[in-house]
Every structure is written in structure tokens, then in C-alpha cells.
Amino acid sequence: MLARNKLEAQMKLHGDTQATLGEAIGITGPTLSVKMNPNKTNEFTLSELDAIHKRYNLSGEEFFDIFFADEVSQLDTTSAESR
């Protein structure tokens, strides 16, 4: 699940709005807004993720904290419960 607050922090740090980031990754601002909504099932494509990663020069840890931390945490919990 997307850590929306962390992505928004990167956007602010780099002076981006949803419109400017959307344009930079090849989608519209409203489409980016939908993808950032945790209640929607629209997910980022690999090319969009790659573009965000490069635009913000994210470290691997920052990237995973923004886009995958919750999934990894749930996997770790599930694995621990099955032991």
C-alpha cells in the first residue's frame, strides 16, 4: 500500500503538485490523485514507479518505504504467524 504522506513529502520537497508530478510521469493530475487514494484499486505502473524513483532520486529504502512497506510488513507478520 502506498504511504501517501511520504510521497507527498517528496513532492513538497521537490516543489511538485499532483499536476506537475502527473505530467512528469505521463499521466494527468486527476489520475495521479486517484492512484494516490488508498481506497481505490488503481495502482502505479512499473514505468510510473520508475519515473517517480528517478525524478526524486530515491534510495532503495525510501522507494520501498513509500510504495511497498505495508506489503512487506504484512508478509513478515503472516510468516511469523505460520511458524
> Tens digit of pLDDT for each residue in 70-80?
655 555 555 55
Query: What residue type is 5 in one-letter code?
Result: N
The whole-model pTM stands at 0.80
Nearest to residue 52, comparing CAs of 2, 4, 7, 3? 7
Number of domains in the chain: 1
The grid cell for 8 is: 507527498
Any idea what the CATH number is for the domain that residue 71 is in? 1.10.260.40
Q: At what angle do helices 4-13 and 29-36 cross, to 10 degrees?
A: 140
> 35, 43 in Cβ contact below 8 A?
yes
Residues in the chain with pLDDT values less than 50: none
Q: Which domain covers residue 24, as residue numbers?
A: 4-81
The grid cell for 69 is: 512497506
Cα–Cα distance, 22 to 1 (Å, whole number)? 19
